[in-house]
Chain A
Amino acid sequence: MYVAVKGGEKAIKSSIDLLEQKRKHISANQDIQISQLIEQLSFAVDRVLSEGSLYDKNLSALSIKQAQGDLVEAIFILRAYRTTLERFSYSVPIDTSSMTLKRRISATYKDIPGGQILGPTFDYTHRLLDFSLLNGKETSNKKNTPKSDDNVFFPRVMEFLNNEGLMEKEIEKLKSKPFDITREPMKFPAARDQWLQILSRSDEGFLLGLSYSAIRGFGSKGTHPFVGEIRYGFVDVKIFPEELGFEICVGEIEVSECEMVDQFEGSKKKAPQFTRGYGLTFGYNERKAMSISIIDRALKSQEYGEEIRFPIQDQEFVLYHSDNVEAQGFVSHLKLPHYVDFQGELNLIRELRKKILKKNKDD
């Protein structure tokens, strides 16, 4: 009779062995190299390091390999590693206006100072299966890719609107230390530093669905936002050690940034202004940066005194449910045994039925 509950130890071991075998079978005799993942599956690597919130392409690729391509699992592995790392310094805020750009576009102006840089994008590819890749043929894409000059300053598109007074002012500087989701539990009502940080490592699919819901009709204004500017490229990470008294650059990271222009009606007293939504992520994650900028604007509804009607405007709804490490964990926990609780329900439902059936009979 004990067969039902004994044997957990053995079962776990076999399951882990089977999982490891599965990985080996898939890659047969050719083990995938980490460098291949970084070079050839760069979008997957970028997604995992963004949602894993640890900027390390090697470890991101390693977790993808270990997770056998299950990206949500890879994100989880990377997060669990990140949490054990000691923090040795805080960086000064990165400055995206001095970004070494690989891509920069605006949908609000045909031409902008510094120009539009299309860069590497799927946007204008025809999504036709390329059978030439099937046999692992080497692609001869060795052409010199045009790259913007280093140290060139590209003014922000949004600044032009700002200078004319048409755009709401961006927060200049935080008064207190920014919220830190990796060290603090969430607080409500949330401030913008809190939600922008959380969204930056949230599940891309969840954010995409939410932002889509808003522009399709389940959003505050029903107006159409405009892409003010999208940037993708490298920025320097600097720290300011108190003992040195000056900034030093400790490396560079790839980021994607999106600024969205949205309408705001103003009031009888206040002249109308455009409002803005902002999104920033690690790596080349343009779709996600755009989604964040739409959600950022929606989450400001409370501040603007707009009626909170839709999921995207509800801070607790958005922020509590957007993290896929939390979400996948809790959904998957339903697989755990619940027979103690279920036994309670079984007893109760029998009890209740007995009572009612007896009463019906007596009647």
Chain B
Amino acid sequence: MIDGFNFAYLDEATKRMIRRTILKAICIPGYQCPFGGREMPLAYGWGTGGIQVTASIIGMNDTLKVIDQGADDTTNAISIKNFFKKVCKIKTTEVTENATIIQTRHRIPEKKLSEHQILVYQVPQPEPLRRLEPKEQETRKLHAYEEYALMHVKLYEEISHYGSVIKTYAYPVRTNRRYITDPSPTPKFDNPKMDFMEALQLFGAGRERRIYAIPPYTSVKSLDFEDHPFEIQTWDERCDICGSNNSYLDEIIVNDKGEKKFICSDTNYCEKNIKT
């Protein structure tokens, strides 16, 4: 631990406040619980909500994995992992199943998570209705009275205009048949993994000062219509490294002519595939 700072950076009173918020969030799945978010030594929008949640739950027995865009080795994932190494001296890992806490930005690991794991999402904008209604005072009422027509109309308009819903990430879901919830900017490819997930899912939005949660074994349904059921992305290509045809693929440009290749976004999943 570094001099002059508490274990996991936050002081104990702050952790207590966040812990109370997390418990309330679990008791009201999908509801955005306000909390007195603090400034962190990393910038807002770079994962401060997720970091505060992780800092409030983490202990010496934990093994932490941090991913950004599915990868363990992207700069921001490394930076956050280094932060926790500095302020907690905890074990870290890249192996999905060895982690007790996984902090993520924009992906859910391909490997199925277990009851012994907690998935912490970094959330830039927790309010799924914000693009439709900029005012917090209004969106809070819409959630309170379960007044979600606005969202359904928006999605239906997209279908009539483009032939399909044009949301590819942060695709809204309904949690426990009650609150419409933002899954954070994960691709809609990951939405089905949230439904009845065995692991606890915690969402931290630092700048907006909201925490929300999805308990294990909870219904999470992507919004859709009978005549336009929800679909996830598919690729004609396979991963250029491991040959996977069922994981989320990133496109990379390999030469000046703009030729493309596709590789797994989940780097740990990809490595495992090569080994087996």
A–B interface present (Cβ within 8 A)? yes
* With known contacts A184-B36, A326-B207, A8–B43 Cβ distance under 8 A: no
Q: Assess the A4–B252 pair: CB atoms within 8 A.
A: yes
CA distance A185 to B36 in the complex (A): 5
Interface SS, A side: helix
Distance of B100 from chain A, by nearest CB (Å): 22
Most A C-beta atoms less than 10 A away, residue of B70, B71, B134, B164: B71
Most A C-beta atoms less than 10 A away, residue of B5, B137, B170, B241: B137
Chain B residues with Cβ below 8 Å from A288 are none
CA distance A1 to B76 in the complex (A): 20
Chain B residues with Cβ below 8 Å from A104 are none
Q: Assess the B36–A183 pair: CB atoms within 8 A.
A: yes
Of the candidates B11, B40, B209, which one forms a contact with A186 in the assembled complex, judged by CB atoms under 8 Å apart? Answer: B209
Name which of B142-150, B174-182, B222-230, B259-267 contacts chain A: B259-267
Interface membership of B35, Cβ < 8 A:
yes
Q: Using a CB-CB cutoff of 8 Å, which residues 279-320 of chain A contact chain B?
A: 316, 320
Q: Assess the A1–B43 pair: CB atoms within 8 A.
A: no
Q: Assess the B43–A332 pair: CB atoms within 8 A.
A: yes
* With known contacts A337-B68, A355-B163, A1–B106 Cβ distance under 8 A: no
Q: Assess the A1–B169 pair: CB atoms within 8 A.
A: no
Distance of B105 from chain A, by nearest CB (Å): 8
Interface membership of A333, Cβ < 8 A:
yes
Interface membership of B248, Cβ < 8 A:
yes
Q: Assess the B187–A329 pair: CB atoms within 8 A.
A: no
Q: Assess the A336–B76 pair: CB atoms within 8 A.
A: yes
* With known contacts A316-B134, A340-B187, A352-B163, A325–B44 Cβ distance under 8 A: yes
Interface membership of A2, Cβ < 8 A:
yes
Interface membership of A189, Cβ < 8 A:
yes
- How would residues 1 to 21 of chain B score, 1 for a CB under 8 Å from any chain A CB and 0 otherwise? 000011001110110000000
Interface membership of B157, Cβ < 8 A:
no
For chain A, the bracket of interface size reads: 35 or more
Interface membership of A92, Cβ < 8 A:
no
Residue ID in chain A nearest B265 by CB atoms:
A340
Of the candidates B43, B107, B124, B261, which one forms a contact with A340 in the assembled complex, judged by CB atoms under 8 Å apart? Answer: B107
Chain B residues with Cβ below 8 Å from A188 are 135-137
Q: Assess the A86–B11 pair: CB atoms within 8 A.
A: yes
Q: Assess the A316–B136 pair: CB atoms within 8 A.
A: yes
CA distance A347 to B248 in the complex (A): 12
Of the candidates A86, A328, A333, A341, which one forms a contact with B13 in the assembled complex, judged by CB atoms under 8 Å apart? Answer: A86
* With known contacts A1-B263, A188-B136, A348-B166, A341–B36 Cβ distance under 8 A: no
Q: Using a CB-CB cutoff of 8 Å, which residues 1-46 of chain A contact chain B?
A: 1-2, 4-9, 11-12
Distance of A195 from chain B, by nearest CB (Å): 14
Residue ID in chain B nearest A180 by CB atoms:
B36
Interface membership of B188, Cβ < 8 A:
yes
Q: Assess the B187–A344 pair: CB atoms within 8 A.
A: yes
Interface membership of B41, Cβ < 8 A:
yes
CA distance A328 to B39 in the complex (A): 13
Interface membership of B115, Cβ < 8 A:
no
Interface membership of B114, Cβ < 8 A:
no
Interface membership of A345, Cβ < 8 A:
yes
Name which of A74-82, A170-178, A209-217, A241-249 contacts chain B: A74-82
Q: Assess the A348–B168 pair: CB atoms within 8 A.
A: yes
Distance of A358 from chain B, by nearest CB (Å): 12
Q: Assess the B36–A12 pair: CB atoms within 8 A.
A: no
CA distance A345 to B168 in the complex (A): 6
Interface membership of A141, Cβ < 8 A:
no
Interface membership of A270, Cβ < 8 A:
no
Distance of B56 from chain A, by nearest CB (Å): 14
Interface membership of A142, Cβ < 8 A:
no
* With known contacts A80-B39, A84-B11, A185-B209, A5–B267 Cβ distance under 8 A: yes
Residue ID in chain B nearest A2 by CB atoms:
B241
Q: Assess the A326–B44 pair: CB atoms within 8 A.
A: yes
Q: Assess the A333–B45 pair: CB atoms within 8 A.
A: yes
- How would residues 327 to 354 of chain A score, 1 for a CB under 8 Å from any chain B CB and 0 otherwise? 0111111001111110111111001100
Interface membership of B59, Cβ < 8 A:
no
CA distance A80 to B10 in the complex (A): 10
Interface membership of A91, Cβ < 8 A:
no
Of the candidates A316, A332, A336, A343, which one forms a contact with B187 in the assembled complex, judged by CB atoms under 8 Å apart? Answer: A343
Interface membership of A58, Cβ < 8 A:
no
Chain B residues with Cβ below 8 Å from A4 are 252
Q: Using a CB-CB cutoff of 8 Å, which residues 88-103 of chain B contact chain A?
A: none
Distance of A157 from chain B, by nearest CB (Å): 36
Distance of A251 from chain B, by nearest CB (Å): 22
Q: Assess the A338–B41 pair: CB atoms within 8 A.
A: no
Distance of B243 from chain A, by nearest CB (Å): 13
Residue ID in chain B nearest A81 by CB atoms:
B41
* With known contacts A337-B68, A340-B169, A332–B45 Cβ distance under 8 A: yes
Of the candidates A184, A333, A346, which one forms a contact with B43 in the assembled complex, judged by CB atoms under 8 Å apart? Answer: A333
Distance of B176 from chain A, by nearest CB (Å): 23
Residue ID in chain A nearest B208 by CB atoms:
A185
Additional pairs, 5, CB under 8 Å, beyond known A6-B73, A185-B35, A340-B250: A1-B254, A83-B38, A332-B46, A336-B68, A337-B68
Residue positions of B touching A, CB distance < 8 A? 5-6, 9-11, 13-14, 34-41, 43-46, 48, 68-71, 73-79, 82, 105-107, 124, 134-137, 162-164, 166, 168-170, 185-189, 207, 209-210, 233, 235, 240-241, 248-252, 254, 261, 263, 265, 267
15 A-B pairs in the complex with CB atoms less than 8 angstroms apart: A5-B73, A8-B77, A8-B78, A11-B75, A182-B36, A185-B209, A316-B134, A316-B137, A326-B207, A329-B46, A333-B44, A336-B76, A341-B169, A343-B249, A344-B187
The 8 closest A-B pairs by CB, nearest first: A329-B44, A344-B168, A333-B45, A329-B43, A185-B209, A330-B45, A185-B34, A80-B41
